[in-house]
């Protein structure tokens, strides 16, 4: 998918509230700043690795019994690879590796793996369209993810004949912000655009808006997929936008394009 380009002044005077977790939030903030935007990092999801369990260790030690390994996020991929380094100085051959999203695939590739990626899309739905995940005859599939997550991948692969093992590697939670911190982010900063790249992030944003006198419903909100866009509309957001991809450049380009389109380039969103 082609990446749109933005120049260093395309977002001059704009304010972008970035609600994704760290360190991805600060990395994306730097990209927006390079395009001239003012940014505020306000993560609405934090992540914490789960302690190792005997069950998880046993699964890792039996990695060579799996035909397919799927990481659902860059964080899941990093944690999985860190643990595998402890038990497998050299990874078993013959495993098909997958990353949900370009960022996850990039983490796997940087480790020297060659992950399968769909031609289009970056969601679980897109990944599940890959021919290599279409039919199974009892092959084992390992899914590395958070403590809680969508069951779509497990249910779909099991229906196709796979034996799926879910490996929770971390927990997600909403940070406990003070009323002053919330007011500063939602009201005082006066964002033109909000970056909410997961359903959980959007849910936490909706909860904050519902529990305070400030809301962002009339702002451009960047979401990762149609399912989340529909969720945003149902909650009252007027302008959800799905970028061309979840690469930082494409997120910045989508914000620049939509804000310019909404006000004709006058510098203020309507």
pLDDT digits (tens, 9 = 90+) for 98-136: 999 888 999 999 999 999 988 877 789 999 999 999 999
- Are the C-beta atoms of 139 and 67 separated by less than 8 Å? yes
Summarised one tens digit per residue, pLDDT across range 18-49 is 999 998 999 999 999 999 999 999 999 999 99
Which pairs with CB-CB distance under 8 Å and at least 24 residues apart come from 78-84? Answer: 78/107, 79/49, 79/144, 79/169, 79/170, 80/144, 80/167, 80/169, 81/107, 81/108, 81/111, 83/52, 83/56, 83/169, 84/60
Residue 44 dihedral angles phi and psi, to the nearest 5°: -110, 5
Inter-residue contact 4 to 257 (CB < 8 Å): yes
Residue at token pair 């033109």? 192
Determine contact, residues 10/256, Cβ cutoff 8 Å.
yes
Which whole number is the average pLDDT over 66-93? 95
What does the alpha-carbon distance between residue 182 and residue 176 come to, in Å, rounded to a whole number?
Answer: 10
pLDDT, residue 165, reads: 97
Q: Which two tokens stand for residue 145?
A: 């993810």
pLDDT the model gives residue 182: 92
Residue 45 to residues 16, 81, 95, 112, 185, Cα–Cα distance (Å): 17, 22, 31, 29, 15
Percent of the chain residues topping a pLDDT of 90: 73
Domains in the chain, CATH or no CATH each: 15-45+175-263 (3.40.50.10090), 48-172 (3.40.50.10090)
Using 50, 70 and 90 to split pLDDT, how confident is the model at 262? low
- Residue 98: closest CA among 116, 73, 81, 79: 116
Question: What separation in angstroms does the CA of 127 have from each of 61, 130, 166?
Answer: 26, 6, 17
Candidates 146, 96, 105; CA nearest to 123 is 105
Backbone phi and psi for residue 49, each to the nearest 5 degrees, phi listed first: -60, 145
Structure pTM? 0.82
């Amino acid at each position: 998918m082609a990446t749109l380009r933005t120049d260093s002044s395309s977002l001059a005077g704009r304010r972008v509230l970035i609600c994704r977790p760290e360190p991805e939030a600060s990395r994306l903030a730097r990209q927006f700043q390079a395009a001239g935007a003012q940014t505020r990092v306000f993560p609405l999801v934090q992540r914490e690795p789960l302690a190792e369990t005997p069950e998880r260790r046993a699964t890792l030690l039996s990695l060579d019994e799996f035909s397919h390994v799927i990481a659902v996020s860059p964080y899941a991929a990093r944690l999985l690879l860190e643990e595998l380094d402890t038990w497998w100085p050299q990874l078993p051959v013959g495993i098909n590796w997958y990353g949900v999203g370009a960022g996850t695939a990039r983490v796997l590739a940087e480790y020297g793996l060659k992950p399968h990626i769909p031609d289009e899309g970056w969601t679980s739905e897109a990944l599940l369209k890959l021919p290599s995940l279409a039919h199974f005859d009892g092959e084992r599939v390992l899914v590395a993810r958070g403590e809680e997550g969508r069951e779509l991948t497990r249910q779909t692969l099991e229906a196709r004949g796979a034996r799926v093992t879910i490996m929770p590697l971390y927990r997600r939670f909403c940070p406990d912000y003070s009323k002053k911190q919330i007011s500063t982010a939602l009201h005082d900063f006066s964002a033109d655009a909000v970056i909410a790249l997961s359903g959980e992030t959007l849910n936490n944003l909706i909860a904050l808006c519902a529990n305070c006198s400030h809301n962002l419903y009339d702002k451009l909100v960047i979401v990762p997929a149609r399912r989340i866009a529909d969720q945003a509309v149902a909650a009252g957001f007027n302008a959800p936008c799905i970028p061309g991809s979840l690469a930082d450049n494409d997120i910045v380009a989508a914000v620049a394009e939509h804000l310019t389109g909404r006000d004709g380039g006058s510098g203020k969103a309507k």
